Structure 1
Amino acid sequence: TMSRPVTTQPQQLFSSVEAEWASGICDCCDDMKQCCFAFWCCPCFACRTTKQLGQCLCLPLLDVFGCVRPITMSIRVSLRQRYGIKGNLCSDCLCSTFCLPCVWCQMATEMKKQKLPTSAANTL
Structure 2
Amino acid sequence: MSWPVSTQPQALVVSSDDDADWSSGICDCCDDGKQCCFAFWCCPCFACKTTKDFGHCLCLPLLDVFGCIRPITMSTRVSVRHRYGIRGSLCVDCLCSTFCLSCVWCQMSREMKKRKIPTVLSDIIGY
Superposition TM-score, scaled by structure 1 size: 0.82
1:26 aligned residue: 27
For residue 16 of structure 1, report the CA deviation from its aligned partner: 7.8
In 1, are the aligned partners of 2:15 and 2:84 still within 8 Å (CA)? no
2:43 aligned residue: 42
For residue 86 of structure 1, report the CA deviation from its aligned partner: 1.4
SS of corresponding position for 2:47: helix
- Give the 5 Å matches for 1:1-124: 13=13, 17=17, 19-118=20-119, 120=120, 122-123=121-122
- State the identity %: 76
Distance 1:96 1:40 in 2: 17
Unaligned runs of 5+ in 2: 1-12, 123-127
RMSD: 1.8
Superposition TM-score, scaled by structure 2 size: 0.81
In 2, are the aligned partners of 1:53 and 1:116 still within 8 Å (CA)? no
Q: 1:58 to 1:84 in 2, by over 3 A?
A: same
In 2, are the aligned partners of 1:39 and 1:101 still within 8 Å (CA)? yes
| Structure possessing the higher radius of gyration over alpha carbons | 1
How many residues are paired up? 110
SS of corresponding position for 2:81: helix
Distance 2:55 2:117 in 1: 10
For residue 67 of structure 1, report the CA deviation from its aligned partner: 0.5
Unaligned runs of 5+ in 1: 1-12
Deviations 1:77-120, CA, capped at 9 Å, x for gaps: 001011111110000000000000000000000000110224x2
